[in-house]
């Protein structure tokens, strides 16, 4: 079928019917961006039929930068023994949560490197302490590669590790580390992460334990459009399987382009055709639209303001995304490779959502609506240079 016929079928239907891999490759390769965005927005309104866009007040905590995995696109990690390594104390982590509580936050996203010097008790005791002292904060902690690292140190299976962590108070897992679930790409940019099946297996184990998870995707490694659809297809297939078992599976999907400024991967590819590595704004928007169209069994698509800036994130809300992400407060992993501003106030998120034509709604980690304060009433009274990344659409 041609891209024109596929888009006609999508736009004229009020059903969320399944698109095949071949149909989405055809759309990816040939459909004009504005038509893709319009079709994806039509689908977004079938999934979430309101004019609302959700966001989360949360904080990222990168508790350690020690890591043995050496991903080529990562500028955050330091190998064991390096003089710039750090691991935050329980007190430092708790202080960050106190600051989150002060702004009414509901979730921490805690992830770091694979640090073999931390034993299992360190993780369990940390979760118990956080659960006891910060009972209103959801603890979304430790991405699949960290779970695998803990399993290696403890000699337990990843399922056993997850079971213990859940008992200690863990609410969910960050979706990080999926990057591109295509073996040829993964073995090139992050060979120690192992086969794509590993990430999917740990996520499935977590989902079947009732832990909250999300799916991520990094584009721009020189992969083909077919590879990108393969990544989406792995997620869609797993989501079908988990739904058959009666679990919600991935709450959402978020993609962003690899950051190339300061890492090994960027240096390795410097001087090569820029269009073969990384991904610009239109490429990103095309991918957001395709993901909304292809992932018929994932409820929410997030826009990525930290990597694209608020202006492109606003455009993503017109390309199938229905969630503006979160405040983050700090982030050190992606930002180490070249993005600039990785914290947004609730005011900035609400302003961006409103100016894009939507109604902002606070949510929690499970996409349950929370009471939404009117942050726009508390606009900064001192007028100064606007943050460079808050580019208004209208
Ligand atoms: S991306 Fe994560 S796993 Fe890879 S090197 Fe960085 S901290 Fe380690």
User: What is the CB neighbour count within 10 angstroms for residue 16?
Assistant: 13
In this structure, is residue 312 part of a structural domain? no
What is residue 391's predicted lDDT score, i.e. its pLDDT? 40
Torsion of CA 101, 105, 107, 111, to 10 degrees: -70
For ligand 1, what atom is nearest to the CA of residue 73? 1
Q: Indicate which atom in ligand 1 lies nearest the CA of residue 193.
A: 3
Per-residue confidence (pLDDT) for residue 229, from 0 to 100: 98
Number of residues written out for the chain: 394
Q: Is 366 inside a domain boundary? A: no
Which residue's alpha carbon is at the smallest distance from atom 7 of ligand 1? Answer: 113
Protein residue whose Cα sits closest to atom 4 of ligand 1: 71
For residue 357, being part of any structural domain is answered with no
Distance CA 219, CA 279 (A): 7
Distance CA 15, CA 22 (A): 20
77 neighbors 113 (Cβ within 8 angstroms): yes
| In-domain check, residue 350 | no
In ligand 1, which atom is closest to the CA atom of 74? 6
Q: What is the CATH number of the domain that holds 88?
A: 3.20.20.70
What distance in angstroms lies between residue 76's CA and the mean position of ligand 1's atoms? Answer: 7
pTM: 0.92
Residue 74 lies in a domain: yes
Centroid of ligand 1 to alpha carbon of 12 (angstroms) = 44
Q: Is residue 177 a part of any domain in this protein?
A: yes
Determine the 3-state secondary structure of 240 from DSSP: helix
Q: What is the pLDDT of residue 356?
A: 97
Query: Which residue segment(s) compose the domain that 296 sits in?
Result: 54-307+324-345
Best mutation site among 74, 79, 118, 335 for ligand 1 pocket (most ligand atoms within 8 Å of CB):
74
- Give the pLDDT confidence score for residue 279 in this predicted structure: 85
Where does ligand 1 bind, in terms of residues with CB under 6 Å?
67, 69-71, 74, 76-77, 113-114, 145
Domain count, the chain: 1
Of 95, 209, 91, 224, the closest CA to residue 160 belongs to: 209
pLDDT in tens, the chain (394 residues): 999 999 999 999 999 999 999 999 999 999 999 999 999 999 999 999 999 999 999 999 999 999 999 999 999 999 999 999 999 999 999 999 999 999 999 999 999 999 999 999 999 999 999 999 999 999 999 999 999 999 999 999 999 999 999 999 999 999 999 999 999 999 999 999 999 999 999 999 999 999 999 999 999 999 999 999 999 999 999 999 999 999 999 999 999 999 876 666 676 666 555 445 678 999 999 999 999 999 999 999 999 999 999 999 999 999 999 999 999 987 666 666 666 557 889 999 999 999 999 999 999 999 999 999 999 997 776 544 444 444 433 3
Cβ atoms within 10 A of the Cβ of 62, count? 19
Domain assignment present for residue 353? The answer is no
Burial group, residue 373, by CB count within 10 angstroms (0-12, 13-18, 19+): middle
Under a CB-based contact definition with an 8 Å cutoff, are residues 140 and 365 in contact? yes
Query: Which residue puts its alpha carbon closest to atom 2 of ligand 1?
Result: 113
**Cα 253 to Cα 218: distance, rounded to the nearest angstrom:** 11
Return the residue matching tokens 């213990």. 164
In a domain, 377, yes or no: no
DSSP bridge pairs for 215: 253
Query: Of the candidates 164, 163, 160, 158, which has an alpha carbon nearest to the alpha carbon of residue 177?
Result: 158
| 48 Cα to the center of ligand 1, angstroms | 34
């Amino acid at each position: 079928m041609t891209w024109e016929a596929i888009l006609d079928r999508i736009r004229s239907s009020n059903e969320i019917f399944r698109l095949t891999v071949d149909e989405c490759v055809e759309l990816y390769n040939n459909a004009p961006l504005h038509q893709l965005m319009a079709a994806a927005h039509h689908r977004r309104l079938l999934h979430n039929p309101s004019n609302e866009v959700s966001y989360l007040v949360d904080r990222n905590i990168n508790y350690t930068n020690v890591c043995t995995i050496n991903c080529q696109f990562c500028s955050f990690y330091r190998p064991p023994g390096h003089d710039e390594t750090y691991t935050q104390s329980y007190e430092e982590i708790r202080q960050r949560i106190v600051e989150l509580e002060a702004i009414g936050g509901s979730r921490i996203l805690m992830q770091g490197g694979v640090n073999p010097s931390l034993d299992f008790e360190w993780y369990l005791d940390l979760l118990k302490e956080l659960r006891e002292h910060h009972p209103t904060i959801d603890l979304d902690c430790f991405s699949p590669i960290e779970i695998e690292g803990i399993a290696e140190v403890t000699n337990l299976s990843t399922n056993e590790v997850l079971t213990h962590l859940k008992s200690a108070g863990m609410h969910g897992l960050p979706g990080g580390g999926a990057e591109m679930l295509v073996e040829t790409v993964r073995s090139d940019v992050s060979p120690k992460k192992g086969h794509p099946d590993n990430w999917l297996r740990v996520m499935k184990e977590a989902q079947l334990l009732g832990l909250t998870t999300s799916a991520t995707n990094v584009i721009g490694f020189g992969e083909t459009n077919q590879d990108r659809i393969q990544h989406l297809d792995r997620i869609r297939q797993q989501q079908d399987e988990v739904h058959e078992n009666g679990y919600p599976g991935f709450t959402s999907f978020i993609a962003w382009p690899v950051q190339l400024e300061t890492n090994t991967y960027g240096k390795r590819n410097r001087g090569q055709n820029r269009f073969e590595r990384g991904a610009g704004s239109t490429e990103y928007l095309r991918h957001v639209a395709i993901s909304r169209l292809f992932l018929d069994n994932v409820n929410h698509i997030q826009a990525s303001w930290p990597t694209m800036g608020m202006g492109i994130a606003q455009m993503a809300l017109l390309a199938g995304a229905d969630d503006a992400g979160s405040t983050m407060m700090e982030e050190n992993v992606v930002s180490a490779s070249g993005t600039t501003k990785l914290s947004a106030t609730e005011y900035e998120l609400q302003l961006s959502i409103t100016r894009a034509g939507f109604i902002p709604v606070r949510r929690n980690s499970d996409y349950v609506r929370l009471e939404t304060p009117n942050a726009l009433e508390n606009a900064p009274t001192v007028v100064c240079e606007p943050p460079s990344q808050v580019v208004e659409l209208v």
